[in-house]
Structure 1
Amino acid sequence: MAPRVAFPGWKPNLTASASKQDDRVLISAMSVMRFDTRQQTKLGQQMKLAPRMIQSMEILQLPLPLLQERVEQELESNVALELVEPGDGATEIRTEGEAEVADTEREFIAGESGEDFQRLADLENRYRDVWDGGEEVRRPTAGAGERDRKMDAMANTAERGKSLTDQLDDQWRLVEVPENVSVAGRRLIEYVDADGYLGADLETIFEQGGGLEIHDWSISLLERTLERLHRTLEPPGLLARSKQESLLLQIDAIVELEGDGEGSWTDAAVLIGEHFEDLVQNRLPKVSKDAEMSLERVQIAKALMRQLSLWPGRELANPDAQFVMPDVIVEYEPENDAYIAALADGTMPVLRINPQVEKMREQPELDHDGKTFIDTAVRDASWLIDAVNQRSNTLLRVVRVVLERQREFFDHGPQFLKPLPMTEVAERLGVHVATVSRAVSEKWLQTPRGMYPLRRFFSGGRETGQEGQEKSWEAIKEMLREIVDAEDKAKPLSDQKLADALKEKGVEIARRTVVKYREQLGIPPARRRKVHATG
């Protein structure tokens, strides 16, 4: 007997005949399970970025070194893109008597004889591996005896510096020591941190090196090796286990080289070794009493310590150092009493579409695939040239607004920097604020007052109370720096007094804000700025 199916809201009728009401309930329940298809029209909007727009935004945001690298890559990969050399025209006219032109530099001309097409086929067969990426691509120079500007620029570019570990390893390999000491030294060098300190204790290094096949592997071997490293590596103070040890190693090296006739370096070593914490906190009277030195001797020793480095490793490899190239140069024009902005000359190559490639497009013998390839190459080259030009135009427009709004900065200095939100610049230029943000990202200005990141001129601020004038946060920091520089060092101003001094100049901010700005400027608190009087 087949099972009966029960639907929600329906109960089977046990009588012989079902009522009409039960039939309606059954039909209603079954209608819930009905499946059907319908057509529906929906109106909506969707934004999609074209590849050309995406490329333009990427080019706009790139800093100058990365943009140059991007252009170099395109020059290598796109046959339709060409670098315009100074004085180079669309075609070259060679006079009689010149050296014969190489096949790779002769212009392809479609003739009835088909000689040039045969030459093209020969070149393809000859350089197939290069064009397919099997060999390194080498571009011919402009002519015999001429210097290739691109190759010169690449040759003059500083190579990527070696890491601190590699430089120390190079020094250590020149030292004549037993084999096990040499291997243990290289093992210790692997633990150096960016500041030049040993990044782990000897017990940890010993445990982690247990699997190494080093003769007499022990803590004692590591200690002897570390001592030899301290005496050998330059600059002194490397692979120290603490700041105190690093400073003492540097003092030992100076005394060994220059001597210590007046004993001031010896005093400095005593203060660092026995009174380091009080010295850091500038508790000089307490240091003088505990060390049984006159306050004058303590201050002389402290002044000598300025020759020492707390980060000896950064003298060899500084991860914070960066190579900066100005995108825009700002100069003052006295005739018009105005600041003029121009793109840095020579930083960006001048690009164009290779005319020979364009002519090949019109050759009737070229098949469909060849025409498609040339069309794609020419289109990509045009997009890149347009994107680079758009980047230059947008950058100059942004800089001109900055020169207008920040005129007092260029005339009088950083303390006159005004608030300049990106939204204001975007409204004036009629572009989106994201475009302004990309335009200023990692761009640099070379000005009569020095080199500045373009983003520095865009900051918030507040009204100073002097006729509603506005001061940017950067300008307020410069005012704070000036107040600290002018204070009486025997009685340095506390953070609250610094806030009061700023209030007198029309800038009212809280004490905690003064503390934040002071720390950002690297200014120590009052107790550490105090200069103790002698005698």
Structure 2
Amino acid sequence: MTPQLLQAIKLLQLSHLDLAAYVEAELERNPLLERAEPEAPAAQEAAGTADEPRGGEEFDGGDGESWSAPELDPGRGEIETDLDTRLDNVFPEETPVRVSEGESGDMLSLTPAPYGSTGGSFDAEAPDFEATLTAEVTLREHLASQLDLATRDPIERLIGGFLIDAVDDAGYLRETVEAVAERLAADPATVARMLALVQTFDPPGVAARDLAECLAIQLREKDRFDPAMEALVSRLDLVAKRDFAALRRLCGVNDEDLVDMLAEIRRLDPKPGRAFGSSAVEVLVPDVFVRAAPDGSWLVELNGEALPRVLVNQSYYARVSRNARADGDKAFLSEALQNANWLTRSLEQRARTILKVATEIVRQQDGFFAHGVAHLRPLNLKTVAEAIGMHESTVSRVTSNKAIGTSRGTLEMKYFFTAAIPGAAGAAAHSSEAVRHRIRQLVDGETAENVLSDDALVQKLRDEGVDIARRTVAKYRESLRIPSSIERRRERSAQAGHAQARAAVLA
């Protein structure tokens, strides 16, 4: 494939953060590119808004999509049609192109040989000290700094450092004391003593070997690890099963005390290390916004903040090219101009393609935007691709790493593509996401006297026109982290008993 084809495909599937980093790198190494000044709001709205009427053709459902889509392999002509451009190779034939790949095979960079330098800085070899100033403290660094203050003995520091290295990102020690002692040829008692020391470090609960020990460490710090709480922590399996009658007998407490103890357990942190050593949580930024128009239609507009804008400095090119004498300088300037023109064109086409796909998604999922998730329709890539005259692979790339901002929150584009659940007695198909939502509603409406089993949920859904199997209901219920009917019945009975006890006390 030509370098232009590779670049067009790459830009289409990048998220806005990756795209910003890519454009930033191009700005650094191409002297003919410069950032465009932000447009006025009115100009942005005129350039990036599409108005589509509500409604659409009925869709009879489809299977879920594989978002890696290895089988989607369009030809060059189909991609040229989708991107509305010819992808001829404008690079000189003798110019080699370097393509580097990551471990997963994803393309990481695509640069012509003349642009292979480290960037526009004359001291590119110098270390980036600013990056070290903003680096977050990892869990290991946080624990190691406390170890330095806790002991001066070199052997204890060695053992403590080894234990800290064995703590995972969640804060748990994944090696046994015996294994550590054997590996270091140390006394197991010394290793156990150092483990007890590390377990006193911040954050509370760190270096525990299982959940029960993690909770026990935190409760000891709060001075709440009494015999009743110790018995409760020792049988977390009963807590998971919501077997409150057995827990009351085991702990020797009444309903009200048990509810308070369980509430205290829930306030503890089961993963004390998650605040350290992990990548920062990225806020989902919408690539397009959807809002209701006064006439009842939907307005789909691009998010200008997520679109990098670059311009080609033609005047600078004309001025420099007049003074270029060497053939190498002229070739460099010519190629830089070609790259700059292609990048600006690719960015513009990427924006138009995203808007086109998003507009069709909004048209297909009109019921969701108007009435909520219960009206989400089955949708697959092929339906959208056929409606807008593109290849499925193009739609797949557009919807990867992209989000839509709606009045119901910011959602990934992939959220709107769901498998179809057949309708009962020839009724229209239902979206799997809408069926999950309905299961959640039915469970939330339960009472202590009327807890629905999976079979009862199947019957209620079939009464509403959803032809679904019991195993599918069980799978959806588990994906929503809804306990079984037996566990829900125990929990609701305990809650009802607790409410009656409180009412009696107040009376």
1:21-420 mapped onto 2 (5 Å cutoff): 49-86=1-38, 135-136=123-124, 161-210=136-185, 217-234=186-203, 236-255=204-223, 267-273=228-234, 275-318=235-278, 321-333=281-293, 335-360=294-319, 363=322, 366-420=325-379
Q: Distance in 1 between matches of 2:39 and 2:434?
A: 46
Say if 1:480 and 1:498, in contact at 8 Å, map to a contact too: yes
The alignment partner of 1:342 has SS state of strand
Structure 1 gap ranges (5+)? 1-48, 89-128, 139-154, 211-216
Secondary structure of 1:452's aligned partner: strand
Residue identity in the other structure for 1:192:
V
Distance 1:303 1:206 in 2: 38
**Contact 1:80 1:381 (C-alpha < 8 Å) held by counterparts:** yes
Separation in structure 1 between the aligned mates of residue 118 and residue 243 of structure 2, nearest angstrom: 70
Identical-residue share of aligned pairs (%)? 29
- SS of the residue 2:161 aligns to: helix
User: Structure 1 pair 132/246, CA: closer, same or farther in 2 (3 Å)?
Assistant: closer
**Post-superposition shift, 1:61?**
0.5
- Whole-Å Cα distance in 1 between the matches of residues 238 and 469 of structure 2? 30
In structure 2, what is the Cα distance between the partners aligned to 1:461 and 1:320? 35
For residue 366 of structure 1, report the CA deviation from its aligned partner.
3.1
Change (3 A) 1:327 1:302: same
Cα distance, 1:360 vs. partner? 3.5
Counterpart amino acid of 2:342? W
Work out whether residues 143 and 201 of structure 2, in 8 Å CA contact, stay in contact via their aligned partners in 1: no
TM-score with structure 2 length normalisation? 0.75
1:345–1:229 distance in 2 versus 1, CA, 3 Å: same
Given that residues 423 and 433 in structure 1 are in contact (C-alpha distance below 8 angstroms), is that contact kept between their aligned partners in structure 2? yes
Q: What is the deviation of 1:518?
A: 1.2
Q: Which structure has the higher relative contact order (CA within 8 Å, separation 6+)?
A: 2
Larger mean Cα displacement after TM superposition, 321-330 or 368-377: 321-330
Q: Output one character per residue of 1:251-277: Cα deviation in whole Å (capped at 9) or x when no partner.
A: 11223xxxx6xx9x763332112x332
Cross-structure match for 1:441? 400
1:130/1:233 CA distance change after superposition, 3 Å: closer
Amino acid at match of 2:289: I
Q: Distance in 2 between matches of 1:135 and 1:468?
A: 69
1:47-70 CA-partner distances (Å, limit 9, x unpaired):
xx3221221011001111111110
- Deviating more after overlay: 525-534 vs 426-435: 525-534
Shift of 1:376: 0.5
2:417 is aligned to 458
* Residues 251, 269 of structure 1: 8 Å contact kept: no
- 8 Å contact from structure 1 (residues 84, 350) kept in 2: yes
**How much does 1:407 deviate?**
1.6
Provide closer, same or farther for how the CA distance between residues 77 and 319 of structure 1 changes in structure 2, counting only shifts above 3 A: closer
Aligned-residue offset at 1:467: 7.6
CA distance in 1 between counterparts of 2:364 and 2:10 reads: 27
Q: After superposition, give the CA deviation of every residue in 1:134-188 in whole Å (9 maximum; x if it has no partner).
A: 51399xxxxxxxxxxxxxxxx99x9564443233323433445544333322211
- Return the alpha-carbon distance in structure 1 between the equivalents of residues 118 and 282 of structure 2: 35
CA distance in 2, matches of 1:160, 1:519: 38
Query: 480, 488, 491: which one pairs with 2:447?
Result: 488
Change (3 A) 1:403 1:132: closer
AA at the equivalent of 2:209: R
Which amino acid counterpart does residue 240 of structure 1 have in structure 2? A
Structure 1 pair 525/504, CA: closer, same or farther in 2 (3 Å)? same
Gaps of 5+ in 2: 41-116, 502-507
Give the Å deviation of 1:130. Answer: 9.1
> Alpha-carbon deviation of 1:490?
5.3
TM-score with structure 1 setting the length: 0.71
